[in-house]
């Protein structure tokens, strides 16, 4: 008789059933928490320090150099 066809005791069957229930519960918990985990990692990514900007990049809010054809800087 093959190994998986052998009769199992009541404790073996109960342990196997408990394992299946635990795995099913873990799967349900993971599926229900996926959206929260995704949101958590997105928040962490947004609050992380930004990547360094390449040289010559104008930062937002800084004065831009005059465009071609203008004779002077804008007066404020």
For residue 23, being part of any structural domain is answered with: yes
Locus of tokens 């008789």: 1
Confidence check: pLDDT of 76 > 70: no
For residue 21, being part of any structural domain is answered with: yes
In which domain, by residue range, is 31 found?
Answer: 14-47
pTM over 0.75: no
Q: Which of 30, 11, 34 is nearest to 22 (CA)?
A: 30
Q: List pLDDT tens digits, range 15-74.
A: 999 999 999 999 998 888 888 888 888 887 777 777 788 887 767 666 666 666 655 656
For residue 42, being part of any structural domain is answered with: yes
Tokens of 55: 């040289």
Alpha-carbon torsion, ordered 49, 50, 52, 56, to 10 deg: -140
How many domains does the chain divide into? 1
Residue 39 DSSP code = H
For residue 32, being part of any structural domain is answered with: yes
């Amino acid at each position: 008789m093959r190994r998986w066809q052998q009769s199992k005791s009541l404790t073996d069957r109960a342990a196997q059933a408990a394992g299946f229930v635990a795995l099913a519960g873990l799967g349900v918990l993971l599926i229900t928490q996926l959206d929260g985990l995704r949101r958590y990692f997105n928040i962490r990514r947004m609050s992380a320090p930004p990547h360094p900007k390449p040289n010559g990049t104008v930062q937002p809010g800084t004065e831009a150099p005059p465009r071609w054809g203008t004779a002077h800087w804008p007066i404020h």
